[in-house]
Structure 1
């Protein structure tokens, strides 16, 4: 796991319940790994948005990580983008989705590097 540079982001992760933190950190690793393979996603910024860890690429759409009322953790994308619609078209009925804004997870083992990496890559390059 790559060290969290921003103390506010580190504190936000530390404040999460253990199950939520484990899932959010696993998604963070996938975001960082995916971004490292995308020159257009550099420099990737890790910051807080709405009190949650968020990832912003120069030509991307914001990705947020955190807990959800219906699941221990979730990957959030901008609700007014086409990201979730494209994701559910490419991977129908493979995830629990909340509307056009989040993929919901009950367990770290549900994270699929291929499928969720696809969504992350699209978000990080959304405005290209």
Structure 2
């Protein structure tokens, strides 16, 4: 793990760190399952960020201002969150066109989150398609 990212993970409250680490594990699992190559793991805007050559960055974070929520952030200039909203309006909560909002007290909807991360990681090859090829 990138040292700056490790420091960020270590700064999360005890009950939050495993939730964010679970998102990180899904990112790496998707990249491996789809043979997408190396993941660039960095901090962007103070948030853990993950990107493969075929995709757009996926960031994740928890904010003290919203203690019962944690977030998956996506490039707001893309159609990603619009597509996620179309596909998963009943399963996920969204913040504008930039984030999936997750509740710390609810089970992670793994199948939907995995699919959203997959679409972000394949974004460069599907961005021209309606609903990003879904």
TM-score by length of 2: 0.84
Instruction: Call closer, same or farther: CA 1:125–1:27 in 2, change over 3 Å.
Output: same
Task: Flag the structure with more relative contact order, 1 or 2, with Cα contacts below 8 A and sequence separation at least 6.
Answer: 1
Equivalenced residues, count? 123
Deviations 1:45-64 (A, max 9, x none): 11111111110110201000
Asked if 1:48 corresponds to 2:43, the answer is yes
Unaligned runs of 5+ in 1: none
Give the match for residue 121 of structure 1: 118
Q: Give the distance between the partners of 1:125 and 1:42, measured in 2 at CA.
A: 12
Deviations 1:49-99 (A, max 9, x none): 111111011020100010144443111111111111111111122112111
RMSD: 1.5
Give the match for residue 34 of structure 1: 30
Unaligned runs of 5+ in 2: 126-134
TM-score by length of 1: 0.88
Give the match for residue 59 of structure 1: 54
The correspondence of residues 16-35 of structure 1 with structure 2, limited to 5 A, is 16-35=12-31
Moved over 6 A (4+): none
Query: Contact 1:23–1:108 (CA<8 Å) still a contact in 2?
Result: no
